[in-house]
Structure formats: structure tokens, C-alpha cells
């Protein structure tokens, strides 16, 4: 079984420790934590190690919880005030003495703990002496001192403290890594090779010194992920198929410049010069102009009065200057009509597939 140098280091350290935490194992294998865990997971896939993960809940006090752990919960502060007053105390009186929000929360807990009651609008303490410290107060003290909660009553009280945002809970994941029987056997076999540095990159110096004998072995039969190779786009495949069909039918494929004069792009196709149709196809005019063919007059006559076609044409004056303006062609029909004009004798079979 082929192992990387890092895998050998981790396996060798596990052979001595048998079971260890990542920090201890990282120190024993001279690897950083990330490289260590990567190698540990690879060893687990090969059945040479086992990784066990446990989740521990960590409880801490919030800033407000630490404050109340020192001065007492709000309900105990109010109870102490009630017991020290000789006169009747109402809720408005308490709000003048303490923060109103604190009073509102405390009244519910005073009734819940049976420390006080409201009689005819007066807050009356239920006892003359200070009550014993409750489970929630014991939890505050325990967490403040860094102790461990053991009793179920304390854990239930903790839930109330979390709801009151006096305590927080967080999860801490802990991992332990252990070597398997197969791992022990392989570690014994490669013990003598653990100090050999494998060569992973071949250089000319290594070839000349013949140190290539220690080159890292590669398993050429190891499974690798399949890679998606480059393929012809479906649209391009369709275009190629249509081109082949037309060529097999005897058509000739024609090409043309992407910059055409307005004469071939519009006028020769009988589009009026002052019509919105010329702006419906993302038309981009250029600063340059092109020469018109010698027979442009026939196209002009058809536009103005129909020429000898029997049509009345579009009427108005046809502009030679506008016809000469060059444009990024808006369609390939400009190529087709120019080809027909250059090859007037039928029969002609031609096609154009382009932008």
C-alpha cells in the first residue's frame, strides 16, 4: 500500500501513541494541524486509522449574567428592597427605584418563585427573611467560578438563564485519532523507511546524482475522477450539419465582409431610407463611406417611382450620401443579394451562414 510522506509520519506517531488528539499528534509528527487532519482522513479511508468525533456543550455567562452573579438577580434585588421598606411599595414606586424594564421582568419571576405578590396594587413580600439561593443562582455562581453542572435541577435552571440571555451555550467538537490493527502491521513494515525523504519532483541534479532511486512511487491503477472533455457546442454542431447538407445538395457557401454599405444592407433590399425598419436590428453606423456600384441608379429609380418594375416605389428623394454610409451588417441577406448582383446569370445555388 502506497503512503505519502505525511501519511507515514502520522502512522508512525500513532504507532507510538495508539490513540491521540490532533494537537498531540501534530506535535509528534511535525505537521501543522491542517496537514495532519488531511493525512488522518486518508489513513481512515485506507483502514489504517479511526477518527472519533464528540461534541461537548460549553456554557458561559453573558456580560449581564456576570453582573447579576455578583450583585444578585433582579428579583432578589427587588425583594431585598421590599423587605427593607417600612411603607407600602407599588409598581410605580419600584420603577422609580429600578430600571422599568428590570421591574417588568422581575415581577413575573417574583410571583413564579413565590417571593412576592401584588395585593390591591401593592407589592407585598411573601417572607421576612431572605430566601435560600435558588437553582438558577447556584448556576450563576458555578459558571462564574468555572465549575461543572452536574444536577438535573441546575441544567433545567440553565435553560431559563439562556432564555433570559444571562448565559450562552456553544458546541465544541473534539476529535481523537486511533490506529487500527492493519495500521499497526503496516507501521511495523515501514518503520525502517520512515526517515527516508521521498522525491516528489524530478530535477536535472537528481538525475545526474542518481538520487532518483528514492522517487515517490505512483499507483497508475488507482481510481481517478473522470474529467469532462471539451465538446462541440450543440449550436455549432447544428450549423455544421446544415452546412454539410447544403453542400451535398450542390449549394455554394458564400462569405462577405461584416462591414457593408447601406446600399447593400438596406437599399438593395428595398428598405425605405426614412423608415424605422432600419433601426429595428441594432444598427451601428460607421464614420466611413463606400463606393456605390455602377448600376445604383436602377435601385434609386425603384425607390423613387418604381423604375421599370410597374411599382410606384416609395416616393420622395433617394439619398446617394445615405446609401454610401457604411454599417455593421444587420443580417447576412446583404451578402446574398450582393452575390446575386455579381452573378446575375441563373441558375445559382448559394447560402451564407454567418453573423
- For residue 144, give the nearest of 241, 210, 72 by alpha carbon: 72
218 Cβ contact list (under 8 Å, min separation 6): 2
Angle value at C-alpha 311, between 306 and 317, nearest 5 degrees: 30
DSSP helix, strand, coil percent of the chain (3-state; round to 5): 45, 15, 35
> Could you give the angle at which helices 152-163 and 135-144 cross, rounded to 10 degrees?
80
The reported pLDDT for the residue numbered 1 is 67
The reported pLDDT for the residue numbered 198 is 58
| CATH top class, domain 1-55+170-224 | mainly alpha
- In angstroms, rounded to a whole number, what is the distance separating the alpha carbons of residues 238 and 353? 11
The one-digit pLDDT tens for each residue of the chain (355 residues) are: 677 778 888 888 888 888 888 888 887 777 888 888 888 888 888 888 888 988 888 888 889 888 888 888 988 888 888 888 888 888 898 888 888 888 888 888 888 888 988 888 888 888 888 888 888 888 888 888 877 776 666 778 888 888 889 888 888 888 888 888 888 888 887 765 544 455 656 778 877 877 666 666 667 787 888 888 888 999 999 999 999 999 999 999 999 999 999 999 999 999 998 888 787 777 899 999 999 999 999 999 999 999 999 999 999 899 999 999 999 998 999 999 999 999 988 888 999 998 8
The CA R_g of the chain, rounded to the nearest whole Å, is 45
Burial 145-162 (b: 16+ CB within 10 A, else e): eeeebeeeebeebbebbe
What is the three-class DSSP state of 194? Answer: coil
What is the three-class DSSP state of 313? Answer: coil
Question: For the chain, first and last CA: distance in Å?
Answer: 58
- In angstroms, rounded to a whole number, what is the distance separating the alpha carbons of residues 311 and 75? 101
What is the three-class DSSP state of 190? Answer: coil
- In angstroms, rounded to a whole number, what is the distance separating the alpha carbons of residues 163 and 143? 16
The reported pLDDT for the residue numbered 195 is 47
165 Cβ contact list (under 8 Å, min separation 6): 62, 64, 65
CATH number for the segment(s) 252-351: 3.30.930.10
Burial class (CB in 10 A: 0-12, 13-18, 19+), 213: exposed
pTM of the model: 0.42
The reported pLDDT for the residue numbered 33 is 81
CB 78 within 8 A of CB 103: yes
What is the three-class DSSP state of 63? Answer: helix
- In angstroms, rounded to a whole number, what is the distance separating the alpha carbons of residues 251 and 95? 97
For 217-263, the DSSP string reads: P--TTS--PPPPPP---HHHHHHHHHHHHHHHTT-EE----SEEEHH
Amino acid at each position: 500500500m502506497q503512503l505519502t510522506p505525511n501519511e507515514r509520519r502520522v502512522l508512525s506517531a500513532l504507532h507510538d501513541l495508539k490513540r491521540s488528539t490532533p494537537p498531540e499528534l501534530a506535535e509528534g509528527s511535525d505537521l501543522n494541524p491542517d496537514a495532519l487532519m488531511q493525512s488522518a482522513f486518508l489513513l481512515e479511508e485506507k483502514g489504517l486509522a479511526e477518527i472519533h468525533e464528540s461534541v461537548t456543550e460549553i456554557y458561559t455567562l453573558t456580560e449581564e449574567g456576570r453582573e447579576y452573579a455578583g450583585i444578585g438577580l433582579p428579583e432578589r434585588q427587588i425583594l431585598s428592597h421590599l423587605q427593607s421598606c417600612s411603607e407600602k411599595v407599588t409598581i410605580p414606586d419600584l420603577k422609580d427605584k429600578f430600571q422599568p424594564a428590570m421591574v417588568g421582568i422581575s415581577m413575573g419571576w417574583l410571583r413564579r418563585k413565590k417571593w412576592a405578590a401584588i395585593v390591591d396594587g401593592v407589592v407585598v413580600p411573601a417572607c421576612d427573611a431572605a430566601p435560600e439561593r435558588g437553582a438558577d443562582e447556584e448556576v450563576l455562581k458555578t459558571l462564574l467560578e468555572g465549575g461543572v453542572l452536574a444536577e438535573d435541577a441546575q441544567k433545567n435552571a440553565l435553560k431559563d438563564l439562556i432564555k433570559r440571555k444571562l448565559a450562552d451555550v456553544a458546541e465544541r467538537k473534539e476529535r481523537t485519532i486511533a490506529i487500527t490493527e492493519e495500521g499497526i502491521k503496516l507501521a511495523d513494515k515501514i518503520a525502517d523507511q520512515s526517515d527516508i525523504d521521498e522525491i516528489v519532483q524530478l530535477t536535472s541534479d537528481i538525475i545526474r546524482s542518481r538520487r532518483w532511486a528514492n522517487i515517490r512511487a505512483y499507483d497508475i491503477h488507482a481510481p481517478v475522477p473522470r474529467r469532462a472533455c471539451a465538446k462541440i457546442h450543440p449550436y455549432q454542431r447544428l450549423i455544421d450539419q446544415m452546412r454539410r447538407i447544403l453542400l451535398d445538395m450542390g449549394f455554394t457557401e458564400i462569405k462577405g465582409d461584416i462591414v457593408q454599405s447601406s446600399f447593400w444592407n438596406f437599399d438593395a433590399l428595398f428598405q425605405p431610407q426614412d423608415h424605422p425598419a432600419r433601426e429595428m436590428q441594432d444598427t451601428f453606423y460607421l464614420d466611413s463611406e463606400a463606393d456605390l456600384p455602377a448600376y445604383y441608379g436602377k435601385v434609386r429609380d425603384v425607390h423613387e417611382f418604381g423604375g421599370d418594375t410597374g411599382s410606384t416605389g416609395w416616393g420622395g428623394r433617394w439619398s446617394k450620401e445615405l446609401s454610401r454610409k457604411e454599417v455593421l451588417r444587420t443580417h447576412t441577406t446583404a451578402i446574398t443579394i450582393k452575390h446575386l448582383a455579381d452573378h446575375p446569370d441563373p441558375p445559382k445555388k448559394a447560402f451564407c451562414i454567418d453573423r
